[in-house]
Structure 1
Amino acid sequence: MKKILTGAVAAIALVGVASPAAAQTNQLHYASPGPIPYTITNPGFFGTLAGELGVALQVGTRYTATADAPSDSETATPTVNVAFNLSGTVNKDCSFYAGNTASATNINFGVIGVRTGNNENVNDAFEMVGPAVANVETLTAGCNFNNEVKIAKNDPNGLVNQTASGYDTLQFQNNIPYAVTAAWTGVAVGAVTTGTGQSLTVASNDSDGLGSLQQGAWRSAMTIDFTAPAVTSKGLVAGNYTGTTTLTLQAL
């Protein structure tokens, strides 16, 4: 029996595809030159019976080619997006440089001058000669979050002579009212904008000696001015006049 591929050359090409699934090879072919010539390609059930009968009777031939390989372990993804979520925490903080020692915040006016001349008119005697002023400046102040700036006097009456006793209340007083003004560069609470000049004042006649202003995050120099207007309506009782003003920067 002659071979069907007499005088021909068969070249086998092996192909693999690492991409979307391709059909795997499964070929079945029958052929016979006679006595009844036929070719059958990928037959069904009855075609296979006919082809196998030709092979059994040695009047036909058969060609098969099968190939198989396991598929991807899971669905292939030509594009992969990986989102990295970065996170960290910045603690809320407020800062105010107030010198290197506790004594740096002790503000002493020294002698608060009163009219002591024996030639003063009685209506002027023992009244303040002029206003008492003090100024504090720090180059480092601020908060890194929405915050509140507060000013609180320990006594709304201002500087008070705690030891004064025995005086005519129509002619003398034992307190010196004073105003406090803090100034810095900042923004309104919740605002995202360029900083501008901000200030908070507690007046000398403020009834409770308290004041506050909410701000967004800010950092700048800060000045604090203390001004005690001259008391000219009454004389001052001699003694030590003291008062405390507390500045608070508090993150909200």
Structure 2
Amino acid sequence: MEDIMDIVIRTSLGFVILFILTHIAGRKAVSQLTFFDYVNGITIGSIAAAMAVDSSIGMVAGVVSLGVWTVWIMIINFITLKSVPARKLIDSEPIMVIHNGKILEDNLGKRYFNVHHLLKQLRMRGVFDPNEIEVGIMESNGHLSILKKAQFQPVTAKDLNLSSRGAAASQFVGKELVVDGTVIEKNLTESGLTRQWLESQLQSQGVTDLNEVTLATINPDGTLYVDKKSDQAPLNQHVKK
């Protein structure tokens, strides 16, 4: 009976601690998890499970182990939040794997994906012919983002001028030009844009200091999307359940 009560107490304590730690460390949707997030989740779950059923592990030791691991997760999250190079190192960068219907095998290999994996992801998106894709980008979590060629996109009133957007889309799509106040010079150069153009565009949107910018990306049509740190949601705005 004592063994059963010990397991009940350990399991309940582990459940409560996990509930608290997941709120402290932050949560992401499953589709947004990177491999690093996935490993962290498994490790924390394993520690909690061991603490719950292994009586040779003291409850204090289990709690300390969970706490230390969570602190490290918070430190890494803070570093990646503030540092673009650290974010690239830990989460990796999105990489183009399809361009103008052609599969870029070298880039695909950098994510340890093969053609069969790529075709499977395309089929899951309803695409059976890679030639329909203008741009395919492998995200850091392994998800494939695609932009179809103009002739394969659903027709709407806004799409009537799509025939002139193909080249611009392949040149600009997915390009982050400013992240947390830091200009991504590589993306700026690859997009055929200059620092002067970027500063002019930012000034036209009321931005005088790069540190004001959380994110600036170039849209497929060549316009600049800017999200400023000073942007705030309306007060008392809640999502209806």
TM-score by length of 2: 0.17
- Please say which structure displays the higher CA radius of gyration: 1
Instruction: Give the structure, 1 or 2, with the largest relative contact order (CA under 8 Å, sep 6 or more).
Output: 1
- Which has the larger share of strand? 1
- Which has the larger share of helix? 2
TM-score by length of 1: 0.17
